[in-house]
Amino acid sequence: MGAMVPRGNGQAIRLPRGASLADFADKIDANPGALVQVVFTQLGEMVTATQSCTDETLQLLGVTLGYDVQIVSPEDEDKELLESFDLSFGGEYGDDIELSARPPVVTVMGHVDHGKTKLLDAVRSTDVVGGEAGGITQHIGAYQVRANVDGTERPITFIDTPGHETFTAMRARGAQVTDIVVLVVAADDGVKPQTIEALNHAQAAGVPVVVAVNKVDKEGADPAKVRGQLTEYGLVAEEYGGDTMFVDVSARNRTGIDELLEAVILTADASLDLQAPTGTEAQGVAIEGRLDRGRGPVATVLVQRGTLRVGDSVVAGEAFGRVRAMLDENGAQVAEAGPARPVQVLGFTSVPDAGDNFLVVPEDRVARQIAERRQARERNAELALSRGRPTLESILERMKEGEKTQLNLILKGDVSGSVEALEDALLKIDVGDEVGLRIIDRGVGAITETNVMLASASEAVIIGFNVRPQGKATELADREGVEVRYYSVIYQAIEDIENALKGMLKPVYEEVQLGTAEVREVFRVPRVGNVAGSLVRSGIIRRNTKARLIRDGVVVADNLTVDSLKRFKDDATEVREGYECGIGLGSFNDIKIDDVIETFEQREVPRT
């Protein structure tokens, strides 16, 4: 079993994703070189001692050596990382921690064009939809408004999510931080597939739903029909004896808004006990991140517990920094943010990904170490994933079959949520096994010369979403022949990439029969050969088309060509059904009476 590799008796070994053979060797007190030898001889894989290995390779090696290899999940990995710094994220509140009431966090969901953003405009008395490309929300935003309930002002936090089915990842992530979902359904359009999709997200997250029946002022609006349709999906209106609040609103006329806010507060009071500590270190979720030209990396964060203050050291995913300033949804500076308060944070060294957890740590050094450890861990996992399992057999297979056609992309966007949604949607495009799509790099901010050089080296196309090139990047792209495409609406980018992938597919042809002719007489023509005097039985016989000769139902000759075609003594281009003609099949002369000449052509089948 190689040079002195200790055998196990089923002992459990915990390894992180993308661990190397050197990491494995440390756990069992073995020589890494000996494990390299075992992997090569026993598993047929070529791996160096420090190379990131796939989960499958590590587990197979464990079975071979008698160990139970357990791959640590990303969540457990992160938990162990934080515990090594005496930190923890989330968890139960202790008895000694004082809890205070917090505002509900509301996500607005529903079918595209049913008026979600218009409704939020009415709630916030702003105009967002006018500034969105195509009138479709491309980003996640968070806002806090105040509702007057029984003479008391109550704050509510709204999360605005994109309204198109390809952004499922962003909508689902919105539901993870949400207390209540407002499901918007147009009274004139009724329940649509995306309405059901949004409802499924809400029910999977286990959050109560308030239904806003929008566009009740339009002609043909039928709010009762909406209530009836949603009953099938478990949402029964209070007036029908259920426990779901339905509110008729008109976002355009701004009617029913106060009633909707009151319904949200009443649902929160009835169904949820919304409390969080304010005196602890802040923790929460990064809802959005972008690179601002003047301010640098800016993250929209939602505080879930504790109080975030200017000057705090924070870490969010692989980004870290010190809070230099905090802004509310109106751009005003705030000194601190409590639970369920969304704020824009300035001071990160890089842009956090949408959905990353953030937490306050004791000092900058700890934040930097956590971020660097996370970066290294993610890099190892990605290396293992991209490397796959290069066995001798797979290398031979690739040499034999030839590499399949692949489209490489580099994605750059203005905010991390849009880049993630675009990547998620692009990777779901399926045009068969012949063509592959690979995203080799993604990031937030302008398209740089580094992006162009990477695209040139890997023959990639750069997709810019609401961003433009920086400095001499355009000039370099022209010189290097790199294609850069710009978009402001996500599904236009998806449509273009799908069409490009279909264009890379090899054409598929199908045979289409044109016509058949029955041979009635065979004429011998000097210097030409035999000519078939025929009657066209079906379709059309055309000159210069492919033909085959059939005798007694059996194909006698294939791959023939109609060289000459005559009607009496005149040349003809085509002869239709029911007419007689003379057909010459070039040098092929084995023609007999009662044979059938069938003509056909190859047509390209459009890819679907």
Binding-site positions for GTP read: 110-117, 160-164, 214-217
Question: At how many degrees (to 10) do helices 416-427 and 168-176 cross?
Answer: 130
DSSP readout, 54-68? Answer: -HHHHHHHHHHHTEE
Q: For residues 366 and 306, give the distance between their C-alpha atoms in angstroms, rounded to a whole number.
A: 19
Name the 3-class secondary structure at 246.
strand
In one-letter notation, the amino acid at residue 600 is F
Binding residues: 110-117, 160-164, 214-217
Q: Is beta strand 105-110 parallel, antiparallel or unpaired with respect to 180-186?
A: parallel
Query: Is 249 within 8 Å of 213 (Cβ atoms)?
Result: yes
Name the 3-class secondary structure at 455.
helix
Please tell me what DSSP assigns to residue 533. E
Token digits of residue 369:
């170490």
Nearest residue to 434 via CA among 478, 475, 403? 403
557's enclosing H/E stretch is strand 554-561
Q: How many CB atoms lie within 10 A of CB 525?
A: 11
Token digits of residue 10:
């089923």
Residues whose CB falls within 8 Å of the CB of residue 316, separated by 6 or more in sequence, listed in order = 286, 299, 301, 348, 352, 356, 357, 358, 359
Cα angle: 323, vertex 325, 329; to 5 degrees: 120
Name the 3-class secondary structure at 172.
helix
Beta bridge partners of 600: 513, 546
Query: Is 363 within 8 Å of 369 (Cβ atoms)?
Result: no
